[in-house]
Amino acid sequence: MKYIDEFRDGALARGIAARIADEVREGRRYSFMEFCGGHTHAIARYGIRELLPDGVRMIHGPGCPVCVLPIGRIDQVIGLALGRGAIVCTYGDTMRVPASPRPGPDGQAGRGEGLSLIKAKALGADIRMVYSAADALTVARQNPDREVVFFAIGFETTTPPTALVIRQAHAEGLRNFSVLCCHVLTPSAITHILESAEVRQYGTVPIDGFIGPAHVSIVIGSQPYVHFAEEYRKPVVIAGFEPLDVMQAILMLVRQVNDGRAEVENEFTRAVSPEGNVAAQRLVASVFELRERFEWRGLGEVPYSALKIRPEYGEFDAERRFGLHYRGVPDHKQCECGAILRGVKQPTDCKLFGTVCTPDNPMGSCMVSSEGACAAHYSYGRFKDVPVVAVQG
Amino acid sequence: MAKKDYIRPIDFRHGRVDMNHGAGGRAGAQLIDELFARAFDNDALRQGNDGALLDVPAGHRLVMATDGHVISPLFFPGGDIGCLSVHGTVNDVAMMGARPLYLAASFILEEGFPLADLQRIVESMARASREAGVPVVTGDTKVVEQGKGDGVFICTTGIGALPAGRRIGGALARPGDVLLLSGSIGGHGVAVLSQRESLGFEAAVRSDTAALHGLVAALLAAVPEGAVHTLRDPTRGGLATTLNEIAAQAGVGMRLQERAIPVRPEVQGACELLGIDPLYVANEGKLVAAVAPAHADAALAALRAHPLGRDAACIGTVVDDPHRFVQMTTAFGGQRVVDWLTGEPLPRIC
Amino acid sequence: MQRLDGDQALVDLGGVRKPVSLALVPEAREGDYVIVHVGFAIGLLDAEEAQRTLALFAEMAAQQAAGGEAAPAATDPVASAALR
């Protein structure tokens, strides 16, 4: 596969790994946060950790849009499917996110085991997995007598497709289609981490730099990150999603830290420009506007961090159409998803990890999505937690 | 004037399964006669009894295996539910080291299912059965109301003969064993996925569905009795699931080399586009073997000499590991755990 | 990449073809490489930059004083118009 295989070359990887090992300063620790589900996945799947020297630590940030979905939003979706009989179309990763138990017959809070979309489906909810927003539109056209709701999640990469389908629905005059918009914004999340209470309290979330997301940056460009580099004095290197890209970006970050620089560098020059995909940005601006606040799982309410549908397209806004109210629901008391998403704790710090909370029985969203820090660690890195296991090459 | 004893033949081109076919009366008998018995045709079936009277070779023990087939779509590049149901059960028997002898097949038909499709499926099954040399000696048909089935479900059960003294099983894999894979992975799953509308891509990928008992026989003949400890075919859940099953059964760990695992470029491309990992994609014509190290070379050569094992490769070893981890050195040079599959292999977003 | 009707195009990855929407990358032309996400092309891949990046990696690898690192893997010259 051209432009893919070359970026996965093992020999080159060893070369870059050796350079990183050369350039890290003796006794200094480097902590870098990667903020892109694709990066979390690449690091896990290719086993990049093993190629890094001991002094370099990778922290998984809240780059997984499924992981930051609060319980309350899943509840809304389940309510639409079970309670209002709508056909709900969703990306696959959301199917297993744990949410609240089924509400009682007169709407009071339910008790017992929590539902998820897949469990609601088993109860009769018409929930369909789609690979693309366009598929949801197809379902709406094929089922003119039913309400069809598209559960729109994701960062800036997935937002333009949603904008396109809303415009398309408007142009076709579809009467049965709406979108539950839970699109979130990358820069707000990063700011929130840097401004979080722990940072101010301990002065240390020791994040020395960020690996900027791949796909998101294709859309928003490299320009928006300049703010972080300048304001917070943290280097940012935007990286492609192949493993060599990630290794190279880590090397570039190490160099910036050593040099005392805090700049925005672009490793992903083959796809990311300073201004990004302007056509896509304009499209998004025409359909969406900023929400004043939005709850992120584990981060609480974050101001100006998410989007809602503009009044001009109000008929396609599921919240308006169905008169939905948002009700926040707290996580399981011992679930450490919040701290893990902020990079303050590791999966192994969570009491529930690997025992009560496993990929088969997730308690929190970090375990549900294959890009969540806990799921990635469970699937790919668990063997490292066990001191006895010696890995043979 | 109507001909005496005239029975109108079934219209396979335009007819559909209806509730009469399952009622146990003449319509059902006619369907069995004109379709199933005619296609599978053998001595046992010709007896027309409720069960089949069978001979078992002396000095052998019996192996039995069963499989339900609910695949959708029913027809896919490289195969269909019919031949799949034959291959699947023949393979399960073969993975015990037994010679498959007989098959039983039970059909659950949905009211309204086109007889043309049923005929196609049954003829494909019959062909697969003949080519494998394993006759379908007894069977059953039932019909369920429209909406209560998915066209057709097929359940096959197979019996095989295991020579006295031979033991092959998951629990017998032991540290030091060499892991052999008979060919490239992921083909069947991708071929099936390519048919599902919502994915809409045309892949030049065909299912690898095949009967493996010939390959197994060639392998066992090439090494001393007892050299092959484990045989398994990586079907649902893919190679990763199968290896984890064996590791759990035997209480061992495994170390794999990603570079050694054959994956065709088209399968790799399809998996890339869908965001799924070929290690977890189903295969229907491949096997994994755990072989004593002294005989690994001979075993590999035997696989490669057979048409179904041309791309066979040594993919790793069995090791001592109380945690039963299946670990892999990635082509990139890192290490990862190849864990059990959780839920469906849903693609990533982000 | 080949154009189909309207916004649709066919992309090819290692011999596998899939229709995607080009609505977000209207300037894409046949033979271009695009980056695909959830059924939509979201950006063009600049082949020159890709080569430059690969050369950079190779340089990194070659500079290794401990030596012995082989030259970077040759890219397959007959790779089809694969894209991402």
Range of the domain at C49: 2-62
Tell me which residues of chain C, numbers 20 to 79, contact chain A at a CB-CB cutoff of 8 Å.
21, 23-26, 33, 35, 37-40, 42-47, 49-50, 52-54, 56-58, 60-64, 66, 69-70, 72-73, 75-76, 79
C-beta separation of B274 from A92 below 8 A: no
CATH number of the domain that B37 lies in?
A: 3.30.1330.10
Say yes or no: B41 and B136 in one domain: yes
C-beta separation of A15 from C69 below 8 A: yes
Say yes or no: B103 and B186 in one domain: no
Look at residue B128 and tell me if it is in a domain: yes
- Cα angle value A151/A156/A162 (rounded, 5°): 40
Domain count, chain C: 1
Nearest residue on chain C to B200, judged by CA atoms? C18
pLDDT over 80 (residue C10)? no
Say yes or no: B149 and B200 in one domain: no
Containing H/E element for C20? strand C16-21
Which partners does chain A have (≥3 C-beta pairs < 8 Å)?
B, C
C16 contacts in chain B (CB < 8 Å): 201-205, 266, 269-270, 273
Look at residue C73 and tell me if it is in a domain: no
d(Cα C12, Cα C22) in Å, to the nearest integer? 14
Q: Which is nearest to B202 in space by CA: B300, B269, B138?
A: B269
Say yes or no: B84 and B176 in one domain: no
Q: How far is B332 from chain C (nearest CA, A)?
A: 13
The average confidence (pLDDT) of chain A is 86
d(Cα A105, Cα B133) in Å, to the nearest integer? 60
Contact C15 B199 (CB under 8 A): no
Contact C18 B265 (CB under 8 A): no
- Most confident of the ranges A195-204, A212-221, A225-234, A366-375: A212-221
Q: In this structure, what DSSP letter does residue A32 have?
A: E
Which tokens is A8 given?
């996965």
Comparison of pLDDT for A192 and B64, the residue scoring more: B64
Look at residue C83 and tell me if it is in a domain: no
Say yes or no: B307 and B266 in one domain: yes
Nearest residue on chain B to A358, judged by CA atoms? B342
Q: Which is nearest to B299 in space by CA: B213, B208, B178?
A: B178
How high is the pLDDT of residue B229? 98
How high is the pLDDT of residue C43? 87
d(Cα C47, Cα C55) in Å, to the nearest integer? 12
Q: How far is A196 from chain C (nearest CA, A)?
A: 31
Contact B349 A41 (CB under 8 A): no
Look at residue B14 and tell me if it is in a domain: no
Range with the poorest average pLDDT among A49-53, A106-110, A247-251, B345-349: B345-349
pLDDT in tens, A8-18: 888 888 888 98
* A323 class by beta-carbon count within 10 Å (0-12 exposed, 13-18 middle, 19+ buried): exposed
CATH number of the domain that B249 lies in?
A: 3.90.650.10
The average confidence (pLDDT) of chain C is 67
Say yes or no: B104 and B251 in one domain: no
Range with the poorest average pLDDT among A334-343, A375-384, B130-139, B338-347: B338-347
Say yes or no: B224 and B240 in one domain: yes
Say yes or no: B25 and B84 in one domain: yes
pLDDT in tens, B72-101: 889 988 999 999 999 999 999 999 999 999
How high is the pLDDT of residue B134? 97
C-beta separation of B104 from B145 below 8 A: no
Range of the domain at B186: 170-337
Say yes or no: B313 and B230 in one domain: yes
What residue ranges define each of the domains in chain A, with the CATH number in brackets? 1-21+31-380 (3.40.50.11740)
Which amino acid is it at B274?
Answer: L
* SS3 letters across chain B: CCCCCCCCCCCCCCCECCHHHHCCCHHHHHHHHHHHHHHHCCHHHHHCCCCCCCCCCCCEEEEEEEEEECCCCCEECCEEHHHHHHHHHHHHHHCCCCEEEEEEEEEEEECCCEHHHHHHHHHHHHHHHHHHCCCEEEEEEEEECCCCCCCEEEEEEEEEEEECCCCCCHHHCCCCCEEEECCCCCHHHHHHHHHCHHHCCECCCCCCCCCCHHHHHHHHHHCCCCCEEEEECCCCCHHHHHHHHHHHHHCCEEEEEHHHCCCCHHHHHHHHHHCCCHHHCCCCCCCEEEECHHHHHHHHHHHHHCHHHCCCEEEEEEECCCCCCEEEECCCCCEEECCCCCCCCCCCCC
Boundary of a domain, candidates B128, B163, B198: B163
CATH number of the domain that C43 lies in?
A: 2.30.30.140
Say yes or no: B215 and B325 in one domain: yes
Domain count, chain B: 2
C-beta separation of B98 from B161 below 8 A: yes
Q: What is the dihedral of CA B340, B341, B347, B349, to 10 degrees?
A: -60
Residue C12 contacts A where some CB pair is shorter than 8 Å:
no
What residue ranges in A306-382 does DSSP mark as E strands?
307-309
Boundary of a domain, candidates B111, B145, B163: B163
Comparison of pLDDT for A39 and C2, the residue scoring more: A39
C-beta separation of B121 from B35 below 8 A: no
What ipTM does the predicted assembly reach? 0.74
Contact A218 C43 (CB under 8 A): yes
Q: Which of C57, C64, C79 shows the shortest C-beta gap to A248?
A: C57
User: pLDDT band at C63, cuts 50/70/90?
Assistant: low
Look at residue C74 and tell me if it is in a domain: no
What residue ranges in chain A does DSSP mark as E strands?
30-34, 56-60, 87-90, 127-129, 148-154, 177-183, 209-212, 236-238, 264-266, 288-290, 293-296, 300-303, 307-309
Look at residue C14 and tell me if it is in a domain: yes
Say yes or no: B333 and B318 in one domain: yes
Look at residue B318 and tell me if it is in a domain: yes
pLDDT in tens, A77-114: 999 999 899 999 998 878 888 888 887 777 677 777 78
User: pLDDT band at B285, cuts 50/70/90?
Assistant: very high
Containing H/E element for A39? helix A37-45
- Cα angle value A348/A353/A359 (rounded, 5°): 125
Boundary of a domain, candidates B163, B189, B207: B163
